[in-house]
Amino acid sequence: MRLVRGRRRKARFETLTLVGQWREWDLERDNGDPEVRFQGWVFRDPETGTAIPYGDDGVEVAGAVVVRAAGVSYREDALQEDAFRPGQPLELTPEPWNPHDRNAVAIWDAAHRHQVGYVPRDLAPYIAGRFRRGDRLRAMCLAEFVHRSGKRCGLRVLIAPATLRLDLEDSVQTGHHQ
């Protein structure tokens, strides 16, 4: 995906554009056997075609982060719901009352029926702080990891300013995504 410079006013992002391209590949064990399949949107620079890593400084500076949904192994049934397919909008819910972490931020489907996990503990204070400051954030399932059994076993979630503009390549043209 390509970042188009975000403009800031009073520490709030007004615009941000990311360009995504659908990718799939197998992640292998040390012996070469496929273990998990990555399926989802990756960032790329549309001018050069080069990949932009999820953790690239440009993504973080623009106010967007990509996180691994934590705790999904405790919610395997919810994880299989179609609401957690790549490209689906998600809801973030701060949990200041959470007895384990007052900065906990839960990750739910858009209809708020199924919780799939949490923002990882190391990033939760940053995301919870943004909510406390009144930042409007949006979330989207960016990618999934599918075990060779066919069950989803992990998610990557994009968290960004609500003003994010996400351009995903047309699935018909790429032939990869439904």
Instruction: Read off the pLDDT of residues 89-122 as tens digits, 9 standing for 90 and up.
Output: 999 999 999 999 999 999 999 999 999 999 999 9
Instruction: Read off the pLDDT of residues 73-87 as tens digits, 9 standing for 90 and up.
Output: 999 999 999 999 998
Distance in angstroms (rounded) separating the CA atoms of residues 41 and 56: 15
pTM: 0.79
Instruction: Read off the pLDDT of residues 26-74 as tens digits, 9 standing for 90 and up.
Output: 776 566 655 888 888 877 666 676 777 777 655 665 678 889 999 999 9
Query: What domains can you pick out in the chain, each with its CATH number?
Result: 8-172 (3.30.70.2330)
Residue 168 burial class via C-beta count within 10 angstroms: exposed 0-12, middle 13-18, buried 19 and up: middle
Place of tokens 């360009």: 19
Nearest CA-CA partner of 103 in 54, 72, 70:
70
